[in-house]
Amino acid sequence: MKRHFSMLRDFHLADWFTLANAFCGTGAIFAAMRFLQDGHVTDLLWGMALIPLAFVFDALDGRIARSRQSSSTLGRELDSLSDVISFGVAPAALAYACGMQGGWDWLVLSYFVGCGVSRLARYNVTAEALSGDEGKVKYFEGTPIPTSLALVVVLAVAAWQQRIGESLWLGSVDLGWQLHPLVLMFALSGSLMISKTLRIPKP
């Protein structure tokens, strides 16, 4: 007989760390929304601080799963979905809150999120093929999506220096739609994630 919340009862310890990753990413998105509502930079900075915390949880869940030999297909899917929130949607939402709100900005940020989703989907599909005799993936194809943490660090410095909104670094360009040149770092990050030729050894 199935019990209520039976799925949660079957979660391994590593899965809870993965969910903590998603929790941090969701909190960062809410913080970005709160900043747009109230205009308090502190809210934005707190949201940005949640992304490094999400990175810590993301690193720990894998270590815990390996040490306890409790890795599973469910855990891998949870990890990817959490990463999409924390290192895909959340950085894009924080960038939007910082002032990247032009038409071209929307397209670039959407491209960035799409690249992150595609990169994680490719990893899940090809993980077995990329595994060596030890059953462990030896390298990443393209940069891992958590590298978007570097983008959030840049945004945090800009927010700390009050260089957001109309004062955003590098200003804006009118190309029919508004483009903030700083958003191009998201285009570069997304492109590196979906690269097939860039191979990064996995620790």
Is residue 29 in some structural domain? yes
Greater model confidence, 137 or 85: 85
pLDDT per position as a tens digit, 78-118? 888 999 999 999 999 999 999 999 999 999 999 999 999 99
Give this prediction's pTM. Answer: 0.88
How high is the pLDDT of residue 151?
A: 98
Is residue 2 in some structural domain? no
- Residues 59, 63, 69: CA angle, nearest 5 degrees: 145
Tell me what the mean pLDDT of segment 14-31 comes to: 93
Q: Compute CA distances 6 → 2, 10, 11, 59, 91, whole Å.
A: 7, 7, 9, 26, 33
How high is the pLDDT of residue 71?
A: 62
Is residue 110 in some structural domain? yes
Beta-strand runs (E) in the chain? 139-141, 173-175, 177-179, 199-201
Tokens found for residue 12: 């391994």
- Residues 84, 26, 148: CA angle, nearest 5 degrees: 45
Is residue 180 in some structural domain? yes
Is residue 1 in some structural domain? no
With cut-offs at 50, 70 and 90, classify the pLDDT of residue 198: confident
How high is the pLDDT of residue 6?
A: 56
pLDDT per position as a tens digit, 25-81? 999 999 999 999 999 999 999 999 999 999 999 988 777 766 656 566 677 788 889
**Region of residue 139 (left: phi > 0; alpha: psi -120 to 50; beta: else):** beta
How high is the pLDDT of residue 64?
A: 75
Residues 6+ apart with CB under 8 A from 203: none
* Structural domains of the chain, count: 1
CA diameter of the chain: 62
CATH number at residue 28: 1.20.120.1760
With cut-offs at 50, 70 and 90, classify the pLDDT of residue 4: low
How high is the pLDDT of residue 43?
A: 96
Tell me what the mean pLDDT of segment 14-34 comes to: 93
Is residue 3 in some structural domain? no
Tell me what the mean pLDDT of segment 6-26 comes to: 80
With cut-offs at 50, 70 and 90, classify the pLDDT of residue 13: confident
| Domain enclosing residue 43, as ranges | 11-201
Is residue 5 in some structural domain? no
With cut-offs at 50, 70 and 90, classify the pLDDT of residue 194: very high
